[in-house]
Amino acid sequence: MQLGEGLHLANFVAANLGTSLVYDREMLEQFAGTDLPWSTSDAVARMGVEYRNDLLGHVHALGPSVPPTRYYAGHERSDHPEDWPPNKVACEEMRGLGATVGYPHPAFTAFPEDWSTSRFFQTPRSVEARELVADAALGVVDSIDLISPFDDEGAGRRSRRPSAEGVRGHQRTVAHFRCERARIWRRAELGRRRPPRHPGPRQGHGAEQLTLVGPDGVVAEGDAASDLRIETTLADGPTWIAAVAHGRGARRRSSQHT
């Protein structure tokens, strides 16, 4: 699926889901620190970790050299139901193993205008990245997912829908070689090959509208009448843009460019 979708980098994670069972733990133990067998000069696949805590937030690790000593905390049906130690401890361990650490799906839904802390904590164990700010300030986090697998127009949670879970590359991150993300790849020992030029958002069946979104909102829009091509200029400096394709009855595609 990785090669078919044209993904240059894939991180397959060993993780639990509410109990002590860690899925794909054996695969991580076998392939930690090495490329997975189907990797090529243009496509690198590695085994990683998703450290899970549904109160403090989930953390994913790309490219650890060996398996970590812990995979979860705070799951009532597991052998470690306490929300301790904090995620910081897991982040420090995985970064010490050479991994790149980031927080996925930082919020369950987009923040409403009448946002309040009481509303935010209405459902305590709903995967919001509540420890993210502290961990980022302490320097143990390398990245955060800006695009949600559930709602590519706002923050949200990973969905069980096939459109989000079943398609690898549903969301893509594209980075220039000189940017921070490329340096992170090198630190994870995955950047020895310069990624080829990314093909960009796909023009699949049913795509009718293309939107470019940046930190300040919509940058440009195009529709089928313009062959779904957008040309625009952005100011120099560190930033990000996201390209989102829409269509009736078609799966959305989104690409995050850094």
pLDDT band at 150 (very low <50, low <70, confident <90, very high): low
**Calpha distance 104→158 (Å, rounded):** 9
Q: What is the pLDDT of residue 188?
A: 45
pLDDT tens digits for range 29-42: 999 999 999 998 88
**Whether pLDDT at 119 is above 90:** no
Phi/psi of residue 41, each to 5°?
A: -70, -20
Query: What stretches of 32-147 show up as alpha helix (H) in DSSP?
Result: 87-96, 117-120, 132-137
Which comes out higher in pLDDT, residue 150 or 172?
172
Residue 110: what pLDDT? 63
Report the distance separating Cα 41 and Cα 1, nearest Å: 16
- Per-residue pLDDT at 189: 46
In this prediction, residue 159 carries a pLDDT of 36
* 68-77 long-range Cβ contacts below 8 angstroms, 24+ apart: 68/93, 68/94, 68/97, 69/93, 71/14, 71/15, 71/16, 71/22, 71/25, 72/15, 72/16, 72/20, 72/22, 74/125, 75/16, 75/18, 75/19, 75/20, 76/18, 77/18, 77/19, 77/20
pLDDT in tens, 173-211: 665 545 444 444 554 444 344 444 444 445 455 678 888
- pLDDT of the residue at 139: 93
Domain ranges of the chain: 9-198, 200-258
Give the pLDDT score at 224: 66
75-89, 163-177, 203-217: least confident range? 163-177
Give the rounded percent of residues in the chain with a pLDDT score beyond 70: 65
What pLDDT is attached to residue 111?
64
Query: Higher-confidence residue: 190 or 213?
Result: 213
Residue 70 has pLDDT above 90, yes or no: yes
Look at residue 205 in the predicted model and tell me its pLDDT.
56
The CA-to-CA distance between both ends of the chain, in Å, stands at: 24
Bigger pLDDT: 94 vs 43: 94
The residue with greater pLDDT, 219 or 186, is 219
pLDDT at position 216, please?
82
| Residue 235 pLDDT greater than 80, yes or no | no
Predicted pLDDT at 134:
96
Q: Is 80 a residue whose pLDDT tops 90? A: yes
Q: 181 or 234: whose pLDDT is higher?
A: 234
pLDDT higher than 70, residue 54 = yes
pLDDT for residue 156: 35
Q: What pLDDT is attached to residue 48? A: 96
